[in-house]
A and B are shown apart, each in its own frame.
Chain A
């Protein structure tokens, strides 16, 4: 709140932060203070109403996209699997019986995934294109989300393995590139590790040096960067930690330093998270950052809580940001006020919201944390490494476990 008291600074960081923060505080206070227009007896009802997560609207938004995206595809024409995953994530996290997929829907989506699989292995952003690790990741998560044996069997595992091996960086040990003649990037390491683990095609040769490379991307700030030397960044931090969790090599990280960086990512005024030091809030980091908290928590056997049993970030403040500032009236969620809702922000806001509902005792006594105790906001529990409902992740793990 100190930024608001100083006069406008001349530097861009402070100007940006002030601009965003002022808008968000204004929206939140206006919404909450409007309860004063109501008689005492109706105030609680009003506050409950404005802090409702419009689950059905968001599920409908995603469900409609899965059934008719039309010309909205354009910007994502090299990313069809993402259009599936983001919306499947939303639909499955909300799990509204009105907007769940039926068998025919699943068949139709499996068709799209089949067409995007490349003969050389991996998935492309569209049919007849070369494979790329980003749509490969999105396709795999879509497959997991469909929770269907036919979907699981779409993947040509031998070809996938050959493709992942081809993506190893020619000179940087443990590094991976995103596509043939493409960029070296930490996302690629994570995606390769995840793909190999899910389909049981992990070999020492494939993973040679990966854990060490990822750990070398932890910066002095404590977060993780996209390439060795660049800035600690929420998206890359998530990728790095999720990968190390899959590899069982969290020991390579400086966890206290990571936690320090991570806790500072939550904005004290806005309540949401930012991605890097001195940058503005963005709803998608609700998942990238709180997902890390959950992965760390699992790593330490579920003991990463305060004495009162809360996670190491302000869970209700995150919820308030998403509820009051990021919901679009027609469905979908947005980065921040002033932006438009999109499928990506909708999915990640909701999975982040789900994580914010968990307390130490929520499995024991069902104590879910919801702003103003609004239990109608409850969402499905998320597996943080896969960013999908736990039961779906368990289903595919079980399936490939049996195959062995």
Chain B
């Protein structure tokens, strides 16, 4: 191959790049994984659908798969779950093993809330993210930051279904009907046609309206 052709020049360029120049996942990962045999997805075969991946992502998942199958619960698995989640928030397996690590290793719950905040951008509609927050807050028993968290998401999208469903759970879990009724006013001011807000008001008020007088007040 002539080094004067563009093709030849690209080959030279490729070979001149030492493998160590680009830190690989294994080199960056803070724990030792040398005892782990990476587990390929479809036995390394190409299926009819020819699933293809970025090599680094594939490596990360090969190690994650191996550890998931092994059932390991450890600091290194917890760290790996963060990396998997950063690559694909919808990988429910990472969230599952993360919870197991939190439970068995008694990890800090507040930093989980920080983690969720960090990965929130772009993942506001992730079922896994919202369930994880619910799970943490349920364990913590402290809802003080939650209205702000919900408000942040609703500022961007005032009808985010996950946010409103989470709000329903929050109100029921901590008995916050009256407090939430006051907060809800803002949403009607901002967008009186926001059906999510109207539905939420119905949810808050339905057990409170017991007499004809209550109904009259509500209609006003």
| In the complex, chain A residues whose CB is within 8 Å of the CB of B196 | 231, 276
Contacts of B6-64 to chain A: CB distance below 8 A: 39, 41-43, 47-54, 57, 61
| In the complex, chain A residues whose CB is within 8 Å of the CB of B93 | 78, 124-125, 129-130
Residue of A nearest to B159 (CB): A279
Shortest B140–chain A CB gap in Å is 16
Query: Which of these binds chain B: A9-17, A304-312, A325-333?
Result: A9-17
- A111 contacts chain B at the CB level, 8 A cutoff: yes
Q: Are the C-beta atoms of A231 and B88 separated by less than 8 Å?
A: no
Residue of A nearest to B61 (CB): A77
Interface residues on A, range: 35 or more
| In the complex, chain B residues whose CB is within 8 Å of the CB of A66 | 48-49
Query: Which of these binds chain B: A219-227, A243-251, A285-293, A395-403?
Result: A219-227
* Bound: A179/B161 CA distance, A: 20
| In the complex, chain B residues whose CB is within 8 Å of the CB of A302 | none
Shortest A177–chain B CB gap in Å is 9
Mostly, the A contact residues are loop
Q: Are the C-beta atoms of B199 and A181 separated by less than 8 Å?
A: no
- Selected contact of A229 from candidates B57, B168, B194, CB within 8 Å: B168
| In the complex, chain B residues whose CB is within 8 Å of the CB of A301 | none
Q: Are the C-beta atoms of A130 and B193 separated by less than 8 Å?
A: no
Query: Which of these binds chain A: B74-82, B109-117, B127-135, B142-150?
Result: B127-135
- A269 contacts chain B at the CB level, 8 A cutoff: no
Shortest B184–chain A CB gap in Å is 14
- A73 contacts chain B at the CB level, 8 A cutoff: yes
Q: Are the C-beta atoms of A129 and B48 separated by less than 8 Å?
A: no
| In the complex, chain B residues whose CB is within 8 Å of the CB of A225 | 165, 199
* Bound: A232/B52 CA distance, A: 38
| In the complex, chain A residues whose CB is within 8 Å of the CB of B202 | 219-220
B163-201 interface code vs A (CB 8 A; 1 in, 0 out): 011001100100000000000000000111111100110
Q: Are the C-beta atoms of B49 and A67 separated by less than 8 Å?
A: yes
* Bound: A83/B49 CA distance, A: 9
* Bound: A6/B69 CA distance, A: 60
Shortest A166–chain B CB gap in Å is 13
